[in-house]
Each structure stands twice: as structure tokens, then as C-alpha cells.
Chains A and B, each alone.
Chain A
């Protein structure tokens, strides 16, 4: 069932009137809430020009917001690359025919999926600091990346695994039939198709990673949120600064979401993979079960590159 039109009949004159009333009432409620918020903020002096004008100056952008955005994007970009590498290794490892490889990989994946990213960051930060593993300038970045890499790596591992499971059985069998070894079949036939099918979900995961970099501010990583705090200290406008930063996050992530949909539509048209694009929900389904692998069928849910709740 798709779309919502099947849930209700074409409205008659009375239903149209009801809809209009409900529509107007909900808009009224929304406006009322907005008015309350604006009125209160005004009363507290949060809407004065002095608090908002700084965002029209170049200085706030060149010294705070843009470096902050670069910090956020840097951490996200490095994490994505490392998470993909780690995820593919772990995912393939979990599919290995040798129990000696399969089990450790499964344990690692399940462990890092259970541990909150924030805790992982706090731990890496303390660890790197105590043993002096990174120059302190790079310490927060290294800790942010470590936290994001392990969690998202295990998510990618699950994506790889369910991507391979989602391929028609014939793919693997055909590979065997022409005499490829297990490893070669994985490397030449299964993995390339699984990764192609994963792409939209991976772009969706990017949004999760980007949002989670914001946790880095707790361990003093110089990203957008921390820059917002600095702006707040400089101009005494913490709340406006946070609102601006939130808007930047929403805009960047919204476009990443759009990109994920594009990639997915492209994949579906080109049909490179025998499986068809994979959605995070599908992956989740098989992933929840821990070691119990469930073959996922493509009709389980409408696949789209929507990001999960992260962390």
C-alpha cells in the first residue's frame, strides 16, 4: 500500500467542510504557539538586533561558522571513509565460511552497535589523552572519528551482510559453477553488487554521521556547536547562535537526504545490482536479530535513503 489516498474517499461537500475546519484550526494552533514563542523570546530580550546582527557580519562567518562547518564536515568525511573500510572488512568477515573469522567479527559488530557513540568518544578521548597517542591538537578529532568509525563501521558491516543476503541465490551459485572459490565469488560477484545496492543507505548514514559529529563538542572538538558556544561568549547571544547552527545542520542534512533519494532513484533505473537498492529499515530488520541472519526481501518496506535515529 503506498500513498495515502486509499485511506479515505474523495471528500464530499461535508467532508470538505470538515477538512477545511480542521485545517484552519491546526494552522491557528500552530500560529498561536509561534506567537507565544516569539512573544516570550521578545520579552526575554532574545530578539534584539544586538543579538542577531552579528550573523550579518563577515567576521562571524569567517572566524566561527565556516571553520565550524569545515570541522564538522572534516570529521564526518574521515569517519565515513574509515567506517566504510572497517564496515566492509567486518561485513565480509561475518560472511566468512571460517568460524574463526566469523565469530570475532560478529562480536565486534554487535559490541559496537550496543555502545553509545558518546561513550565511545569519551573513552577514546580519555584513552588517547592518557597514553598520549595523538598530539593534543588532534586529540578531539581523533576521538570523534574513533567513536563514529566503530559505530558506523558496524552499521555498514550489517549493510554489507544484508546486501549480500538480498542478492538472488543464483548469483553465488553461478559463481561457484564457473569454479570461483568462496573468496573470489565474494570479491568479484557478490560484494560489488551488494555495495552498489547499499549506496543509498550509505548516503543516508552520512546524515547520521554528520549529526553525530555534534557530540564532539562535549570533548572540545571544534565543530559547529562548539563554535556556536564561542559566538555566544563573544556576543552574549548563545540562543541565537544555537538556532543559526541548528538551521545550518537542517539545511546540509536535508540536501544529503535529497542526494540519497537521487542516488537511489539512479540505481533503480540503472538496475546494476541483481538485488535492488537497500533501505536502512530492511537492514535493521535483519540486523536486530544479532547473529540470526534473516534473508531480506525487497518488498518488506518502501526502500528510501532515510537516515535512522543514529548513535
Chain B
């Protein structure tokens, strides 16, 4: 099985998976941040913010991720000149593409994070918010101290699903030249068409290893963290 050794030596398959993991983790953090803001906007008392929030979710959710990522590169970077890495650094192209991909993945998945949090908010009983208002908490404090902590715990399972989807969707970053797992797989398949099953097997296994524990972890988390009522 010389393909397997090629995977490690010639193609730096581990490095590719490392890129996949970095892409996933950074995008997950940023998506959680943007998604929370959007979710808060969607339940806020200011009508304009509410409509902006739903517009964001409706547009982003209905656009193919491939397009979102291509827009990050062709639109944000090439046209608007938004540079996310020092243009004079010797690795500026790779850094810039990686960061643009993180931005694109975050913006896309933030819409689903927002929906997950909203579904979490829906699990919080009415009395909780009413009680918070009764003791005089304003909107943001009601959210911060009463509703959101419970909503997050109620949203653990859907958030886990978004994370799994994000892991797999990070493969789309290859369209702007980020060397992650699927890009390396494509090259390996082109060079060794005689052993495509093995090549596919290696990479598929990689993703099973990445996503299966996340699924199990989030299921157990969602049970442990569920607010007992």
C-alpha cells in the first residue's frame, strides 16, 4: 500500500487535514459570534434590527456556499480591496485565502447558528422571560442573564449539527485555492486513478474520525446540559 505512505510523505495529507481542522475551528468560533448577534437582532425590540436579521438569514441560507466563498475572494478581496493578510509577507496569498475562506464559512454558517439559537430560545419557558422583566431587567440583561444561557443549553444539539456540517463544508474552501483535505484528495486521485478507492477511503475515514466524535460529544452534552424542567 504505497499510496498510504504517499499520503503522508508526498502529499502532506496530515497537513491538509490540519488545515481542515483550523478552518473548521476558527470558522466555528466566528460563526458562533456572528450567529449570536444575528439571533439577538432577530428577537430585539427594534424593528429595523429584526428585519435586518431575517434578511441576513434568508439571503445567506439560500445562497450556495460555493458562491459565498467565491464572493469573499472575487468581491471582498479583488474588488473591495479588503486584504486580510500583509500583502508584503512571503505567504500573503495563502494566508489571505485561508482567512477569506474562514470569513466565508463563518458568514454562511452564522445563519444556521442564528436559527439554532432561535430554536433554543423557543425552548425557554415563557415564565422565565416574564420573571426577568418583572424584576426590572431591560431587554439586553434579560437576554444576557436569563434567556440566552438557557437557550444555548437548549441549542446544543442543533449547534453540534452546524459544527458537523461546517467541518464537511470546509472542503469548499478549495475553490479559492486553500489546500485542505478535498483539494489534496483531488490531486491524488488525478495522479493515481488506479487506486481511487484507497485514496477515497483514506480521506473519507479522516472525515469520519473528525465528525463522529463531535456528534457523540454534542449528544451527550445536550443531554447533560438540558435544563431540567
Q: Assess A/B contact in the complex (Cβ within 8 A).
A: yes
Give me the interface of A with B, judged by CB distance under 8 Å.
1-2, 4, 6-9, 11, 15, 19, 22-23, 26-27, 30, 36-37, 40-41, 44, 46, 110-111, 113-119, 122-123, 126-127, 129-130, 207, 211-215, 217-218, 225, 238-239, 242, 245-246, 249-250, 253-254, 257, 281, 284-285, 287-290, 292, 294, 300-302, 306-311
Question: Which residue of chain B has its CB nearest to the CB of A20?
Answer: B46
The docked-state distance in angstroms from the alpha carbon of A300 to that of B116 is 12
- On whether A6 and B129 interact (CB within 8 A), knowing A126-B196, A207-B62, A250-B62, the answer reads yes
- On whether A306 and B204 interact (CB within 8 A), knowing A9-B133, A26-B49, the answer reads no
Q: In whole Å, how far is B53's beta carbon from the nearest beta carbon of chain A? A: 10
Cβ contact within 8 Å between A214 and B67: yes
Question: Which residue of chain A has its CB nearest to the CB of B204?
Answer: A115
Consensus secondary structure, chain A interface: helix
Most B CB atoms within 10 A — which of A4, A130, A288, A289? A288
Task: Give the chain A neighbours of B203 by CB distance below 8 A.
Answer: 119
CB < 8 Å neighbour of B67 from A117, A129, A245:
A245
Contact mask B129-146 → A, CB, 8 Å, 1/0?
Answer: 110010000110011000
Cβ contact within 8 Å between B48 and A310: no
Give me the interface of B with A, judged by CB distance under 8 Å.
42-50, 52, 58-59, 61-67, 70-71, 74-75, 79-81, 108-109, 112, 115-116, 119, 121-126, 128-130, 133, 138-139, 142-143, 147, 157-158, 160-162, 164-166, 168-169, 171-172, 174-175, 181-182, 185-186, 189-190, 193-194, 196-197, 200, 203-204, 207-208, 210-212, 215-216, 218-219, 222
Cβ contact within 8 Å between A8 and B52: no
Q: In whole Å, how far is B186's beta carbon from the nearest beta carbon of chain A? A: 5
What is the number of contacts between chain A and chain B, taking CB atoms within 8 Å? 219
Closest 10 CB pairs of A and B: A214-B64, A253-B62, A116-B168, A309-B165, A4-B43, A289-B219, A23-B48, A8-B139, A126-B189, A309-B112
Task: Give the chain A neighbours of B124 by CB distance below 8 A.
Answer: 1
Cβ contact within 8 Å between A114 and B208: yes
The docked-state distance in angstroms from the alpha carbon of A178 to that of B67 is 55
Task: Give the chain B neighbours of A300 by CB distance below 8 A.
Answer: 123
Q: In whole Å, how far is A189's beta carbon from the nearest beta carbon of chain B? A: 29
Cβ contact within 8 Å between A41 and B67: no
8 A-B pairs, CB-CB below 8 angstroms? Answer: A114-B211, A122-B182, A126-B189, A129-B193, A130-B193, A246-B67, A289-B219, A290-B215
The docked-state distance in angstroms from the alpha carbon of A6 to that of B109 is 27
The docked-state distance in angstroms from the alpha carbon of A242 to that of B196 is 33
- On whether A117 and B161 interact (CB within 8 A), knowing A1-B129, A8-B45, A249-B67, the answer reads no
Task: Give the chain A neighbours of B218 by CB distance below 8 A.
Answer: 288
CB < 8 Å neighbour of A119 from B81, B157, B166, B185:
B185
- On whether A289 and B215 interact (CB within 8 A), knowing A7-B142, A211-B63, A211-B64, the answer reads yes
The docked-state distance in angstroms from the alpha carbon of A98 to that of B60 is 43
Cβ contact within 8 Å between B169 and A310: yes
Question: Which residue of chain B has its CB nearest to the CB of A6?
Answer: B129
Cβ contact within 8 Å between A117 and B74: no
Task: Give the chain B neighbours of A249 by CB distance below 8 A.
Answer: 62-64, 67
Cβ contact within 8 Å between B52 and A26: yes
Task: Give the chain A neighbours of B129 by CB distance below 8 A.
Answer: 1, 6-7
Task: Give the chain A neighbours of B169 by CB distance below 8 A.
Answer: 116, 309-311
The docked-state distance in angstroms from the alpha carbon of A22 to that of B138 is 15
Cβ contact within 8 Å between A8 and B207: no
- On whether A118 and B48 interact (CB within 8 A), knowing A6-B129, A7-B139, the answer reads no
Cβ contact within 8 Å between B45 and A11: yes
The docked-state distance in angstroms from the alpha carbon of A129 to that of B204 is 20
Question: Which residue of chain B has its CB nearest to the CB of A44?
Answer: B79
Task: Give the chain A neighbours of B190 by CB distance below 8 A.
Answer: 126
Most A CB atoms within 10 A — which of B59, B123, B196, B222? B196
